[in-house]
Chains A and B, each alone.
Chain A
Amino acid sequence: MGVIGSTYIVLIIAMILADFAYTSPGHIIEALGSKEIQYAIKLSLITATITMVLSVLVAIPIGYFMARFQFRLKKFIDAIIDIPIVLPPLVIGLSLLILFQTGPGRLIESYVGVTYTVYAVVLAQFMVACAFAVRTMYVTFAQINSRQEQVALTLGCNEKQSFFYVLLPQAKNGILTAASLAWARALGEFGPILIFAGATRMRTEVLPTTIFLEMSVGNIEAAIAVSLLMIASGFAVLLIVRMFGNQKTAL
C-alpha cells in the first residue's frame, strides 16, 4: 500500500524537479521582466480571484439547498451540477461561444461585449471552478448536523439568523476549501479560455495561454519558468488554506 501511495507523490515531485532542471533562475527573472508575462500574471490573479468570489457566492446557496432540503428532481439537479466537471474543457468553451451567438446571447453582447474579452476569461473560469465549489459546499453542509440550527430556531432565531449565525460559522473551513479549490481551478483553466476568449497578447492572455504561446515560439525555457511561477503560487494558496483550515473538514 505504501509503495502504491508514494509512487504518486514521488511522481508529482519528480515532475517539478524536472521542470527546475530545464530552466534557470536567469530565465525566471527574464520571464518576470517581460511586459506580456507581467500582464498575464496580473490578469490571471485578478480573474481567478473574481471567479473565486463569484463561485463561493453561488456555491453557498446551492450547497445549502442541496444539503438541507428534499425536493423532486434533486438527483437530476445533482447530476446537472456535475456536468462542467465531466465535460472536456474544449466543449465548455465551444458551448459558451455558441451560447453567445444565440438570440439572448446576442442581446447581452449588444450591451457588454463578452466573447473574446476579459469577461469571457472570467466566465470560462467560473463555469468550471464553480462546479467544484458547489460540490465542496454541498458536502460541507451535509456533514454538519442540522440539530444546532433547529435548537437555534426553538430559541427564537428565524431561519435567516440560524443560517448566518449558526450554520455558516461552522462551515468556515468548507468555505475556505471551496474558495481555494475554485481559485486554483480558475488559475489553471486553459481550454475554454483559448476558444471563448482567444489568445490575444496583452488582452486575454492568462498564464496558461502564456505557457502555450511561449511553447509555440520555441521558448521552452520561458514556458517552464512561467509554469514554475504557477506551481509556486498555486502551492502557496493551497498551503495557506490548509494552515488556516481545521484538518477535520478540509477536503
Chain B
Amino acid sequence: MKCKILLLLLLLLFTISCKQKAEKGALLVYCAAVVKPVLEEISRDYYAEKGVQIDVQYGGSGTLLANMRVSGKGDLYIPADGSYIEEALSFGLITESKALVPITPVIAVAKGNPKAIKSLDDLYNSSYKLGIANPDAASIGRLTKQMFVQNGTWNAIKSNVYVQMPTVSDVANAIKLKTIDVGVVWNVTVHQYQELEVVPIDYFTLFTKYVSAGVLKSSAQPEEASRFLAYLSTRDKSAKTFKKYGYPVY
C-alpha cells in the first residue's frame, strides 16, 4: 500500500515537472489552419529574435472563435478571414486588430488535372466528387456558401457536394488522397501541396479576403501580444515569410 502511494506521488511529481505552460511570458495564439505553415516559421523567428515563445492552437476559424469564448483565455486570434475579427469584436473579445495578407478562394484539383476540370460549371456536374469545407466550421466553408448563395446556385451546389470537411486542410488532403476530385480551398493552401494545382475562377477573385489578427481582451500580457501583432504586420519582417508560402504580399 505504502509503496503504491509512493509510486502515485512519484507519478504526480513527474507530471508537475513536465512543461506545464511552456515558458513564462509565452503567448497563446488561436490560428486558422490555413495560416499554420507561415505562423510556425514566424513564431520560430520571433522566438529567436525576441525570446518570446508562441504557443499556437490551430483549427477552423469558427471553431477557434467558439473555443476562445468558452475558455476566456489566450492572447491573439488569427482567422483566415477578417469577418471573424468583426464577429469576435461583436462578442467584445478583441481590443486591437490588423489585416495582414489577402487570400483568395480557388478550385483545387490533383496535379495534372486528370479529370480536366476547367470552369465553375464543372462543380455542378455530379460525375465529379466535390468537397468543400463545412460552412459552419471553417472560414473557407462559410465563404464558399456565400459565393454560391450570391450567384443563386447554393442549392444546386449543396446537393452536388460529396463531402463537407472541418477545415481547409482536410479538403486539400482529400484531393491529395484522391478521395475527392475537386475542392474549394484557399489559393495559399494549394501552394502548400505539391500534389495539387489551381483552376483559376474569375468569379472567386471577387471574394478575396484578408488574413487578419487581433489581440484578445483576455490577454494577460496585452503589450507583448500587441508587439507580436506589430511584428506580424510589419512589411520587412514577416512579409518575406508570407511570400515564401505563396501569399501575394501587398
| A residues apposed to B, CB below 8 Å | 97-98, 100-101, 115-116, 194-195, 198-201, 204, 212-218, 220, 223
Contacts and interface: CB of A to CB of B under 8 A. Distances in A.
Nearest to B164: A200
24 contacts: A98-B177, A101-B177, A101-B178, A101-B179, A116-B162, A116-B179, A194-B166, A198-B131, A199-B165, A199-B166, A200-B134, A200-B163, A201-B136, A201-B164, A204-B163, A213-B134, A214-B136, A215-B63, A215-B66, A216-B60, A216-B62, A216-B66, A217-B66, A220-B69
Interface in B55-105: 60, 62-63, 65-67, 69-70, 87, 91
Contact of A216 (B136, B162, B165): B136
A63 B136 CA distance: 43
Contact of A212 (B63, B161, B162, B179): B63
Interface in B17-67: 60, 62-63, 65-67
A237 to B, nearest CB: 28
A134 to B, nearest CB: 29
A116 B171 CA distance: 12
Closest 3 CB pairs of A and B: A198-B163, A116-B163, A216-B137
Given A101-B179, A216-B62, A220-B66, A199 B162 contact: no
Interface in B94-138: 131, 134, 136-138
By DSSP majority rule, is chain B's interface helix, strand, loop, or mixed? mixed
Contact of B63 (A100, A201, A216): A216
A224 to B, nearest CB: 10
Given A199-B166, A212-B166, A217 B179 contact: no
Q: Which of B91, B164, B177 has the most CB of A within 10 A?
A: B164
Nearest to A215: B66
Given A97-B179, A116-B179, A195-B170, A213 B163 contact: no
Given A199-B137, A223-B66, 10 more contacts: A97-B179, A116-B163, A116-B180, A198-B163, A216-B63, A216-B66, A216-B136, A216-B138, A218-B62, A218-B91
Nearest to B62: A216
Nearest to B180: A116
Nearest to B64: A216
A197 B90 CA distance: 34
Contacts of B165: 198-199
Nearest to A224: B70
B179 A218 contact: no
A5 to B, nearest CB: 13
Contacts of B69: 218, 220
A217 B91 CA distance: 13
A120 to B, nearest CB: 10
Most chain B beta carbons < 10 A, residue from A101, A200, A214, A216: A216
Nearest to A218: B66
A116 B67 CA distance: 27
A212 B177 contact: no
B166 A218 contact: no
A212 B137 contact: yes
A218 B138 CA distance: 12
Interface centre among B69, B91, B138, B162 (most CB of A within 10 A): B162
A180 B70 CA distance: 32
A92 to B, nearest CB: 15
Contacts of B136: 201, 213-214, 216-217
Contacts of B179: 97, 100-101, 115-116
A200 B161 contact: yes
B139 to A, nearest CB: 11
A194 to B, nearest CB: 6
Contact of A97 (B63, B65, B162, B177): B177
